A and B are shown apart, each in its own frame.
Chain A
Amino acid sequence: MKIHEYQARTLLENYDIPISKGEVIFDLKDAPAAFKRWANPYCVAKVQVQMGGRGKSGGVKRVQSPEEAKAFSEAFLGKPFSTYQSGGESKTVHSILITEDLAIQEEYYLGLVIDRSKNLPVILLSKEGGVEIEEVASKNPGAIQKIVFSPNLLSKGTDILSITEKVFPSKNIAKQISAITVKLARLFVEKDAAICEINPLSLVAGEKVMALDAKFVFDDNALFRHEDIKALKDPEEDDARERKAKEMGLSYVSMSGNIGCLVNGAGLAMATMDIIKLAGGEPANFLDVGGGATADQVKEGFKIILLDKRVEAILVNIFGGIMKCDVIAEGIIQASREIALQVPLIVRLEGTHVKEGRELLKKSGLKIISCLMIKEAADAAVREAKKFRNSHVHSCR
């Protein structure tokens, strides 16, 4: 789960990590007062959306007067915003962060993530901040210090200090960064984060180090024990269909094609999308109904797929393990009846209770194309989607 920059700032503050002074506004009429409160003599205004590359896309600006702060807020609040990193997706801006404008002398990078090959969290520290860390990693990997640590033994300040002292020649700076790193590691572990990134970690006047931007992502699996973090969720940041799917306990990702798919298991769902593509079609979505899905969840899955008006055929691919094929079959039948399914439906069942499942489909009297093998099913889905489109176009004329 991602949170906004202004929310991350509150967390940083709670962990005693220095940040610039400022406030978030949700209404443009509050912009001038906010400017006056924090100007020194200017302010920085930043749109609050959960995507990278805001600065390069005009979403971050030095504003020089209360009027300019208001004009900036007016230009963005309530309007869609996208960046070169958002992959064509846009999000509505609901808040603006207004902070003091600090003279930055140097920009560093501090990040905490999970090192999947070491099975432990890792601290990433670099003198080259303010740019994407991936860029640094590919151009100059030696510029990134990696410190793997056990969540049981929170990094001791002394260990970190010996490393920061090597990276930063100034003792004072090294000491501050070491302290910030230890605090951020504590936050990471105590709040079950997946990513805690301070970029830039800036050196400002008076040889002070502070966090001038932060990107935090939390482990969805651990939200059950962090009500405070859960409460920070901005539901508007998710795609409407993805949100609805999540409420039903399904995992859905919207794609741009015309063949909807409903699959049990994430790996098989991805592979089903891949084989649709190989068969000459384009998947409309990823939808994993999970291991222990019920007939109800299958029904909701169908509804979510059909919210996408580009869908011209639905391919159901189920290999039953925990999920029993008869349960799926029941869900398919209920859903088809209830929503009077118009698009062609191709179903491929295999696994636990497969006989019962296929039997139920057959007995239902519904027009379902039942396939034994996945290749056959993918080919049928591509063919039927084409047929559906042609007949549809024809009848419209």
Chain B
Amino acid sequence: MSILVDKNTRVLCQGITGKAGSFHAQKCLEYGTKLVAGVTPKKGGTFVGTIPVFDTVEEAAQKTGADTSMLYVPAPYALSAIQEAIDAGIKLLICITEGIPTLDMAKAVEYAKSKNTRLIGPNCPGIITSGECKIGIMPGYIHKKGRVGVISRSGTLTYEAVWQLTSVGLGQTTCIGIGGDPIIGTGFIDALELFEKDPETQAVLMIGEIGGGQEEEAASFVQRNMKKKVAAFIAGTTAPKGKRMGHAGAIVSGSQGTAQEKIAVLEEKGVQVVRNLSEIGSSVKQIL
């Protein structure tokens, strides 16, 4: 078991003919993902490696049975690509693209919700169910089938955590990158809810960072609704106020969104907070 994606998930890739799209589509295929189609307007009829390319999501979905999309379309066109996928009946949409205007995402998230499509991201590494299905840009070999569910706002920091979980022998069920933007399709709480219901997941690791209040909201959710153990790591204890730390959503405004505040709230609500980056794997092992 796992959440959202598994070995039967049929995936298409929007923006497959671009540099990032073609490179990572290939890597996903090598991992074992059923990546059955690519979509780039006006490139229909061509191939990327062995993957057939279609002009529209609708055609790709119809001819290949794909119901999940991995999206690499450049930021200025991302909103219309997301809308196209939703209109074509895609049920799970993973948006890797970074740099999408915030208001475009407000529109995209609203639209996805109205059509019951699950949107993950944007500005995220994607989602992977260890040993079964990789949709995104994460290096596959660091993942190992196991017991921990991972939810993260970050990219490379997630790889670090996953690598540690693998190294201490815990492995992962599913690892989901929710993205580093102010507006995202799937939040901590959505993912926590799914992991709570997944029988194979024994504990959940949340990786948060400065900015916004979603870690605090997730902490309350954990206290009220989770039977499974939850651990968390929060990046940005040393981050200065008022500066955007790389991610569009990583900014402490006034006294809101500091790592210290998040850590305090998480601990108060019974979440095990890991303070030292190098101790993520060993700390999760301790709570299991």
Contact = CB atoms under 8 A, between A and B. Distances in A.
Interface of A: 87, 114, 116-117, 119-121, 132, 134, 150-152, 189, 192, 194, 219-222, 224-225, 251, 253, 255, 263-278, 283, 286, 288, 291-292, 318-323, 350-352, 373-375, 378
A374 B160 contact: yes
A63 B209 CA distance: 46
Nearest to A283: B238
B238 A274 contact: yes
A277 B237 contact: yes
Contacts of B180: 266-267
Interface of A is mostly: mixed
B176 interface: no
Nearest to A191: B103
A213 B139 CA distance: 49
A288 B125 CA distance: 16
Given A151-B107, A224-B75, A270-B209, 19 more contacts: A134-B256, A150-B110, A151-B106, A152-B110, A192-B101, A219-B101, A219-B103, A251-B244, A255-B240, A267-B157, A268-B155, A271-B157, A292-B19, A321-B137, A321-B138, A321-B155, A350-B163, A351-B139, A374-B277
Residue from A264, A269, A278 with most neighbouring chain B CB atoms (10 Å): A269
B142 interface: yes
A201 B254 CA distance: 21
A350 to B, nearest CB: 6
Interface string B150-168: 0011111111100100000
A31 B152 CA distance: 54
A321 B98 CA distance: 14
Nearest to A113: B253
Nearest to B278: A375
A225 to B, nearest CB: 7
Contact of B159 (A292, A321, A378): A321
19 contacts: A116-B213, A119-B110, A119-B184, A151-B107, A221-B99, A253-B240, A253-B243, A267-B207, A268-B157, A270-B209, A270-B238, A273-B239, A274-B237, A291-B98, A291-B137, A321-B159, A350-B163, A352-B139, A374-B160
Contacts of B103: 121, 151, 189, 192, 219, 222
Contacts of A374: 160, 277-278
Contacts of A378: 278
B233 interface: yes
Contact of B235 (A225, A270, A375): A270
A221 B157 contact: no
Interface string B62-101: 0000000000000110000000000000000000001111
A269 B247 CA distance: 11
B245 A266 contact: yes
Contacts of A288: 245-246
Contacts of B277: 271-272, 274-275, 278, 374-375
B20 A265 contact: no
Given A350-B163, A351-B142, A274 B213 contact: no
Interface in B168-223: 180, 182-184, 207, 209-210, 212-214, 217
Given A265-B154, A265-B157, A277-B238, A270 B245 contact: yes
Contact of B125 (A219, A224, A253, A321): A321
A194 B211 CA distance: 14
Contacts of B214: 116-117
Nearest to B276: A278
Interface string B247-261: 111100011100100
A266 B241 CA distance: 16
B275 interface: yes
A210 B26 CA distance: 58
Interface string B112-142: 0000000000000100000000000111001
A269 B250 CA distance: 12
Interface in B242-288: 242-250, 254-256, 259, 275-278
Contacts of B101: 192, 219, 221-222, 225
Contacts of B182: 114, 116
A116 B159 contact: no
Given A267-B156, A275-B276, A374-B278, A114 B102 contact: yes
A278 B154 contact: no
A204 B18 CA distance: 57
Contacts of B210: 270
A112 to B, nearest CB: 11
A230 to B, nearest CB: 13
Given A116-B183, A117-B213, A291 B106 contact: no
A250 to B, nearest CB: 9
A286 B243 CA distance: 10
A267 B247 CA distance: 8
Contacts of A114: 102, 106, 182-183
B236 interface: yes
Nearest to A287: B246
Q: Kindly list the 3 A-B residue pairs having the minimum CB-CB distance in the complex, ordered from nearest.
A: A266-B246, A267-B154, A265-B156
A189 B207 CA distance: 31
B72 to A, nearest CB: 10
Residue from A265, A283, A350 with most neighbouring chain B CB atoms (10 Å): A265
A273 B160 CA distance: 15
Contacts of A221: 75, 99-102, 248
A87 B243 CA distance: 11
Contacts of A318: 156
A161 to B, nearest CB: 24
Contacts of A194: 102
A267 B240 contact: no
